[in-house]
Amino acid sequence: MSLEVLARHKAGGGVQGVYAHRSEATGTRMEFSLYLPPQVEAGPVPLVVYLSGLTCTWENVTTKGQFQAAAAALGLAVLCPDTSPRGLELPHEHADYDFGSGAGFYVDATEAPWHRHYRMATYVHEELPALVAAEFPIDRTRVGITGHSMGGHGALTLALKHPESYRSVSAFAPIAAPMRCSWGLKALMGYLGGEQRPAWRGYDTTALLEDGHRAGEMLVDVGTADPFLATQLKPELLEAAALAAGQPLTLRRQDGYDHSYYFVATFLAEHLAWHAERLQAT
């Protein structure tokens, strides 16, 4: 698989890179960023995958997350995929911020015309990590996953469905119950079909917990001033589902913080340290 180097910058003693490749999962050219800490000179390092939210690309967290120095100190690689396929002109693909371009929702679509390209679950969980591990000194036995908003939803659902692949999981302001908010319902109906509600449960954190899926400890931060807290994120539903399931969850309500990258950047270093504790263990 050919990998195109778009940029490389020294940061925190390591290298912040941006790359592109032709994806088999999406059938499109995909870009991603990867931070490699200086410890790669001694051998493979653990990896944290960061999934971004609606309207974002790899660039948002890479330039606004301010994580490179923390990742370097902890010896963590940080992989930031895009949020949807690019370069397509599907009907209505670019009409709304919360569906289509920039809003892949980390599902494998089954409805036409999305099913041929919008296969972000497969891309993020299978194809991209395999590519990165083949091209860079990454230890695939020590992988954690995190994300923001739509990406927090993606991180939690992937970790619950594939606990053997992710040794740690956290999230910032995740869409915790997509089947019970307008962002989620729009995505699930559009990508999976309005008559396929059983399939929706595989992409809803609270439903996965109800259905017996478990992950390791979960760390989740939400801001009390987040304008989407009550209408779209619904952390209280995650809290209740985790309690009922016996799923270890640390849910932190951060006073006065909103949904922006000011919030994410404030606590991202803490999340990386939390992941590092779990990924460095033998």
Quick check: pTM over 0.75? Answer: yes
CA angle 240, 142, 253 (to 5 degrees): 30
pLDDT tens digit sequence for 134-171:
999 999 999 999 999 999 999 999 999 999 999 999 99
- Distance CA(5)–CA(41), nearest Å, equals 19
If pLDDT is split at 50, 70 and 90, which confidence band does 195 have?
A: confident
Q: Strand pairing partners for 19?
A: 5, 32
pLDDT of residue 1: 54
* Residue 80 burial by Cβ neighbours in a 10 Å radius (0-12, 13-18, 19+): buried
Q: Which residues are known to be catalytic?
A: 149, 226, 259
What is the four-CA torsion angle of 113, 115, 118, 124, rounded to 10 degrees?
180
Q: Which runs of E-coded beta strand occur in the chain?
A: 3-11, 14-22, 29-36, 45-51, 77-81, 138-147, 168-172, 218-223, 249-254
Residues 6+ apart with CB under 8 A from 194: none
Write out pLDDT tens, residues 2-40: 899 999 999 999 999 999 999 999 999 999 999 999 999
- Check: CB of residue 104 under 8 Å from CB of residue 58: no
Task: Give the pLDDT mean for 267-273.
Answer: 98
The pLDDT value recorded for residue 221 is 98
Cα 145 to Cα 168: distance, rounded to the nearest angstrom: 6
Number of Cβ within 10 Å of residue 4's Cβ equals 11
What pLDDT was estimated at residue 194? 87
66-98 confidence digits (pLDDT tens): 999 999 999 999 999 999 999 999 999 999 999
**Strands (DSSP E) found in 137-212:** 138-147, 168-172
Domains plus CATH for the chain? 3-279 (3.40.50.1820)
Mean pLDDT of the chain: 96
Q: How many CB atoms lie within 10 A of CB 10?
A: 10
The residue length of the chain stands at 282
| Among 100, 129, 58, CA closest to 190 | 100
CA 54/CA 148 separation, integer angstroms: 9
How far apart, in whole angstroms, are the C-alpha atoms of residue 113 and residue 100?
Answer: 11
Q: Where residue 282 falls among pLDDT bands split at 50, 70, 90?
A: very low
The DSSP 8-state label assigned to residue 220 in this structure reads E
DSSP-assigned letter for residue 211: T
| Closest residue by Cα to residue 177 from 212, 214, 229 | 229
Using DSSP, state whether 32 is helix, strand or coil: strand
Inter-CA distances, 252 with 71, 170, 173, Å: 22, 11, 10
